Chains A and B, each alone.
Chain A
Amino acid sequence: EVQLLESGGGLVQPGGSLRLSCAASGFTFSSYAMSWVRQAPGKGLEWVSAISGSGGSTYYADSVKGRFTISRDNSKNTLYLQMNSLRAEDTAVYYCAKAHTRYSSSWYILGYWGQGTLVTVSS
């Protein structure tokens, strides 16, 4: 059974940093692209970042480019999101999501989502 468990969320001041983790199990982690998607309170879904199975390719939304860094440790089956220079508008539940299949054409079909971790940016 696929399991994705996010952690690392919390309250942080504007300008601060936070690192989110997503522990994966139930599938061959290194074979699948992974994404982070966020959802501000009461709002819709916003894709944040994605990474290939090998970790060699990374992609970002313009809203986080230069501030957030996605990475993965395939030996630990864990996905990360390093968030720096946080702003109030980064406040959201952050979900990690697994690509539907191993094929690049379906990297962005998000077949399974974790429960999310809440990040609150406030002074």
Chain B
Amino acid sequence: DIVMTQSPDSLAVSLGERATINCKSSQSVLYSSNNKNYLAWYQQKPGQPPKLLIYWASTRESGVPDRFSGSGSGTDFTLTISSLQAEDVAVYYCQQYYSTPPITFGPGTKVDIK
């Protein structure tokens, strides 16, 4: 199974500042035949189910604010919140869907306001 790791475990960022979350997979999730990275990001606010933010490593889901962006390829990925808003306080998870089943999630990164 592909193991996903995330760093940091948690971070606190001032309102309006940038938040950066890293995700690493134990093997490449880049499918060479279509040049797509099988990597998604989810946001989970307290008491709510997860919500899809990003898929194919960098494609923003419809309705997701453009302050959220995904980047990276192969084994190393980043979720960036360009200007943190109060409503962005949540736990963020990366997930690979390259080698399935099973799909595997990272352990999560908690984002708070400083």
Give A contacts to B, CB under 8 Å. Answer: 35, 37, 44-47, 50, 59-62, 95, 100, 106-116
Contacts and interface: CB of A to CB of B under 8 A. Distances in A.
A115 B49 contact: yes
Interface on chain B toward A: helix, strand, loop, or mixed SS? Answer: loop
Nearest to B47: A115
Nearest to A47: B103
Given A44-B93, A45-B93, A109-B40, A100 B107 contact: no
A113 B50 contact: yes
B77 interface: no
A24 to B, nearest CB: 14
A109 to B, nearest CB: 5
Interface on chain A toward B: helix, strand, loop, or mixed SS? Answer: strand
Given A100-B55, A111-B52, A46 B105 contact: yes
Given A45-B93, A47-B103, A95 B55 contact: no
B42 to A, nearest CB: 7
Contacts of A113: 49-51
Nearest to A58: B101
Q: Which of B49, B61, B95 has the most CB atoms of chain A within a 10 A radius of its CB?
A: B49
Contact of A60 (B52, B93, B95, B101): B101
Q: Looking at chain B, what size class is its interface with the partner chain?
A: 20 to 34
B105 A110 contact: no
B104 interface: yes
A91 B104 CA distance: 19
Given A100-B55, A110-B50, A113-B49, A50 B40 contact: no
B49 A95 contact: yes
Given A47-B101, A59-B101, A107-B100, 17 more contacts: A35-B103, A44-B105, A45-B42, A45-B50, A59-B102, A60-B101, A61-B101, A61-B102, A108-B95, A108-B97, A109-B40, A109-B52, A110-B50, A110-B52, A111-B61, A113-B51, A115-B48
